[in-house]
C-alpha cells in the first residue's frame, strides 16, 4: 500500500491547483519551486508532500 496523505495536504493541493493551475505542471521539481512562491510553507517536508499531491492531481486531470 502507498502512503496516506492527510486532509490538510489534499485540501491545500486542491486550493493551489484551483488558484494557479496555469503555473503548475506534471513535473515535481517545477511544482516545488512554484509552491515556494505561491504559499508560505515553513517546512521542506510539508512543501514536498504538497508538491507531490499537486503533481498527482495534475497527472490525473490529463
- In this predicted structure, the answer to whether residue 10 has a pLDDT above a threshold of 90 is yes
> Which tens digit of pLDDT belongs to each residue from 26-40?
999 999 999 999 999
In-domain check, residue 2: no
**How many folded domains does the chain comprise?**
1
**Confidence band of 3 (pLDDT split at 50, 70, 90):** confident
pTM tops 0.85: yes
CA distances from 26 to 17, 37, 42, 58, 62 (A): 12, 17, 23, 6, 10
12-25 pLDDT, tens digit each: 999 999 999 999 99
Residue 48's domain spans which residues? 7-61
User: Is 1 among the domain residues?
Assistant: no
Amino acid at each position: 500500500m502507498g502512503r496516506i496523505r492527510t486532509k490538510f495536504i489534499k485540501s491545500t493541493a486542491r486550493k493551489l491547483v484551483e488558484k494557479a493551475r496555469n503555473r503548475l505542471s506534471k513535473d515535481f521539481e517545477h511544482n516545488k519551486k512554484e509552491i515556494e512562491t505561491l504559499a508560505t510553507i515553513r517546512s521542506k517536508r510539508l512543501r514536498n508532500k504538497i508538491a507531490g499531491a499537486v503533481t498527482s492531481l495534475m497527472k490525473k486531470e490529463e
